[in-house]
Amino acid sequence: MSSHPSQISAAATTDRLPVTLPRLTEMKRLGDPIVMVTAYDFPSARAAEAAGVDMVLVGDSGAMTVLGYPSTVAVETDELLVLAKAVRRGLRTPFLVGDLPFGSYEVSDGQAIQTALRFVKEAGCDAVKLEGGGPASAARARAVVGAGIPVMGHVGLTPQTATALGGYRAQGKTAGAAARIADEAIALQDAGCFSIVFEAIPSDLAELLMVHIQIPVIGIGAGPAVDGQVLVFHDLLGIREGLGARFVKRYADLQDDMAAGVGEFAGDVRSRRYPLPEHGYAIDPSELDAFRQHLS
């Protein structure tokens, strides 16, 4: 099977400079909203690049969106590295963050550093992300930062440990739960994280917490008071079945378009409407005659 090279090149010219950690800090200071999306392959990376987003996350959500796992827990480091390498080849300006998969950083500081190093050295990520802000996660974040690798934290709904949180549901809806999220966010900030994701927490809680967070906060289902927003690529473009979480705004319905396109192709093949003469290649009649003689 072959495909003609894409008309979009990874070396596409742009006037934008690469997004850096100082630039993200400056955006927070100025109140400029930070735009972040997930990406899992070269085409999605090129779409993010063309759209001019600020940050791209190779999320472990790729376990479900592109690898077909029922949750994020099953995905292996090597699998995410393949996705991250493809995304890196498609990006020039956005700041690239790689998700550390479940089981790749929890055991020890050494394990966390080794995994983070692979995302930076093998895949070219600018930073890594880990979930949770409890004592163990904060310690791992501190160790990775100490090794010279920027770390993004993640509090609220943390999909890798969703079972322990009671499933995929909003977090921080009681005073006690809100206090836990606040403590975790502060712990990650103190550990040296350059940014934190707030996922699926009440908007009012996020607004109150912003007073105490000096690093950029990226929200996903956390309301408008945070410094930026992120959505999963397949959610925002409708490359999935079902509506998704409450916080998802769908900007296209590509799953339906893809199914319709493939269905039309199948119909054309079965009714012999494809291929037509214009879809084929010609051979000089004299060369064809010579070939006939060769066959005989």
3-state secondary structure of 17: coil
Confidence (pLDDT) at 244: 76
**Is pLDDT above 70 for 126?**
yes
Cβ(46)–Cβ(88) below 8 Å:
no
The helix-helix angle for 77-90 and 42-51 (nearest 10°) equals 40
- In this structure, which amino acid lies at residue 153? G
User: Which three-class secondary structure string do you get for 120-133?
Assistant: HHCCCCCEEECCCC
**Is pLDDT above 80 for 14?**
no
| Of the candidates 96, 61, 56, 95, the residue with the CA atom closest to the CA atom of residue 80 | 61
Confidence (pLDDT) at 42: 98
* Rounded average pLDDT over 73-84: 96
Output phi, psi for 68, to 5 deg: 80, 15
Confidence (pLDDT) at 115: 98
Tell which wins on pLDDT, 9 or 164: 164
Mean pLDDT, the chain, whole residue set: 92
3-state secondary structure of 21: helix
Confidence (pLDDT) at 9: 44
**Is pLDDT above 70 for 163?**
no
Confidence (pLDDT) at 284: 96
* Rounded average pLDDT over 141-150: 98
* Rounded average pLDDT over 213-218: 98
pLDDT above 70 coverage of the chain, percent: 92
State the Cα–Cα distance between residues 181 and 238, nearest whole angstrom: 30
Adjacent-strand bridge partners of 72: none
Confidence (pLDDT) at 168: 65
| Weakest mean pLDDT among 87-96, 121-130, 155-164, 208-217 | 155-164
Confidence (pLDDT) at 8: 46
* Rounded average pLDDT over 242-254: 87
pLDDT tier, 12 (very low <50, low <70, confident <90, very high otherwise): very low
> CATH homologous superfamily of domain 21-255?
Phosphoenolpyruvate-binding domains (3.20.20.60)
* DSSP H or E stretch at residue 83: helix 77-90
**Is pLDDT above 80 for 221?**
yes
Q: Is 199 a catalytic residue?
A: yes
Q: What is the DSSP letter of 72?
A: S
* Rounded average pLDDT over 231-245: 88
For 25, other C-beta atoms within 10 Å of its C-beta total 15
pLDDT in tens, 255-265: 999 999 999 99
**Is pLDDT above 60 for 87?**
yes
Confidence (pLDDT) at 62: 95
3-state secondary structure of 152: strand
* Rounded average pLDDT over 204-231: 97
Output phi, psi for 178, to 5 deg: -65, -40
Global confidence as pTM: 0.90
pLDDT above 90 coverage of the chain, percent: 86
- In this structure, which amino acid lies at residue 198? F
pLDDT in tens, 32-50: 999 999 999 999 999 999 9
> Rounded to whole angstroms, what are the CA distances from 217 to 91, 112, 190, 234?
22, 23, 14, 22
State the Cα–Cα distance between residues 135 and 249, nearest whole angstrom: 34
- In this structure, which amino acid lies at residue 237? L
Separation of CA 164 from chain center: 23
For 277, other C-beta atoms within 10 Å of its C-beta total 6
* Rounded average pLDDT over 278-285: 95
Q: For residue 275, say if its preceding peptide bond is cis, omega within 30 degrees of 0.
A: yes
Helix residue ranges per DSSP H, 223-282: 233-236, 254-270
Question: Which residue of the set 199, 207, 264, 278 is catalytic?
Answer: 199
State the Cα–Cα distance between residues 153 and 132, nearest whole angstrom: 7
**Is pLDDT above 80 for 10?**
no
**Is pLDDT above 70 for 235?**
yes
| Of the candidates 114, 208, 190, the residue with the CA atom closest to the CA atom of residue 153 | 190
